């Protein structure tokens, strides 16, 4: 299925965290179909993203450094140069295909995000940046992530200011609420948490 056909399928619109699993799965499937998921995966760190550098166009000097023109090449040199040119054209075509697919993915992501959430990706310059921003806003945290945040919160509580603690606590509470893991008010939960912060041995 082409990217154009995908765009005309019934879209999955990202409106809330509840839509994230189905929406992100569809985006990943389309990206994998066009061999560009490695460029879009929000779990990939920016420094680990693949880089497609434009191939260097071969010249007569690629096969004979001392050559100044085609007249300086032997028959064997011509054969080698023809092979290099063929490889260059294939690499360039593949790169342009990848660039087209990535631009199409960027358009597809933008078009499948609800209007009220477009601000999350307004400044994104690539499909990867879009996915990272949307994952931060909508991807439900895993239980392991919550545990890691909670452990970090206790460390911060023993060495940092109450303002720092509160900021991290509010972020953690919001994640728990998104997973329906809280059955108390924010004020009550904060009171219990502050008691732990003041007396870590009470856990």
Share of the chain above pLDDT 90, in %: 55
Q: What confidence category does residue 191 fall into, taking pLDDT thresholds of 50, 70 and 90?
A: low
Q: What confidence category does residue 7 fall into, taking pLDDT thresholds of 50, 70 and 90?
A: low
Model pLDDT, residue 132: 95
Model pLDDT, residue 70: 86
The tokens for 76 are 């064997």
Kindly give, in sequence order, each residue whose CB lies less than 8 Å from that of residue 116, ignoring residues fewer than 6 positions away. Answer: 15
Burial (Cβ within 10 Å: 0-12, 13-18, ≥19) of residue 184: exposed
The tokens for 86 are 């063929």
| C-alpha to C-alpha distance for 28 and 34, rounded to whole angstroms | 10
The tokens for 97 are 């295909």
The tokens for 118 are 């477009």
Mean pLDDT of the chain: 83
SS3 assignment for the chain: CCHHHHHCCCCCCECCHHHHHHHHHHHHHHHHHCCCHHHHCCCCCHHHCCCCCCCCCCCHHHHCCCCCCHHHCCHHHHHHHHHHHHHHHHHHHHHHHHHHHHHHHHHHHHHCECHHHHHHHCCCCCHHHHHHHHHHHHCCCCHHHHHHHHHHHHHHHHHCCHHHHHHHHHHHHHHHHHCCCCCCCHHHHHHHHHHHHHCHHHC
The tokens for 33 are 């179909």
Q: What confidence category does residue 181 fall into, taking pLDDT thresholds of 50, 70 and 90?
A: confident
Q: What is the pLDDT of residues 117-153, one digit of tens each?
A: 999 999 999 999 999 999 989 987 766 666 776 677 6
Residue 195 has pLDDT above 70, yes or no: no
Greatest Cα pair distance in the chain: 87
Residue 100 has pLDDT above 90, yes or no: yes
Residue 31 has pLDDT above 80, yes or no: yes
| C-alpha to C-alpha distance for 65 and 72, rounded to whole angstroms | 10
pTM attached to this predicted model: 0.67
Model pLDDT, residue 202: 46
| C-alpha to C-alpha distance for 13 and 56, rounded to whole angstroms | 41
Domain regions of the chain by residue span: 3-138, 143-202
Range of lowest pLDDT (59-63, 118-122, 191-195): 191-195
Model pLDDT, residue 200: 47
Mean per-residue pLDDT, 66-92: 92
């Amino acid at each position: 299925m082409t990217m154009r056909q995908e765009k005309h399928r019934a879209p999955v619109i990202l409106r809330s965290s509840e839509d994230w699993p189905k929406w992100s799965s569809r985006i990943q499937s389309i990206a994998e179909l066009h061999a560009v998921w490695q460029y879009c995966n929000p779990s990939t760190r920016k420094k680990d993203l693949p880089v497609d550098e434009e191939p260097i166009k071969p010249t007569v000097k690629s096969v004979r450094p001392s050559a100044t023109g085609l007249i300086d090449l032997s028959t064997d040199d011509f054969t080698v140069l023809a092979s290099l040119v063929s490889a260059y054209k294939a690499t360039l075509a593949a790169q342009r295909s990848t660039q087209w697919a990535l631009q199409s993915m960027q358009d597809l992501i933008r078009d499948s995000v609800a209007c009220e959430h477009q601000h999350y990706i307004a400044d994104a310059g690539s499909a990867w940046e879009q996915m990272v921003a949307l994952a931060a806003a909508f991807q439900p945290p895993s239980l392991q992530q919550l545990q890691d945040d909670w452990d970090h919160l206790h460390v911060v509580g023993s060495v940092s200011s109450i303002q720092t603690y509160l900021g991290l606590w509010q972020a953690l509470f919001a994640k728990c609420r998104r997973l329906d893991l809280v059955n108390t008010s924010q004020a009550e939960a904060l009171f219990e948490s502050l008691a732990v912060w003041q007396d870590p041995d009470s856990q």
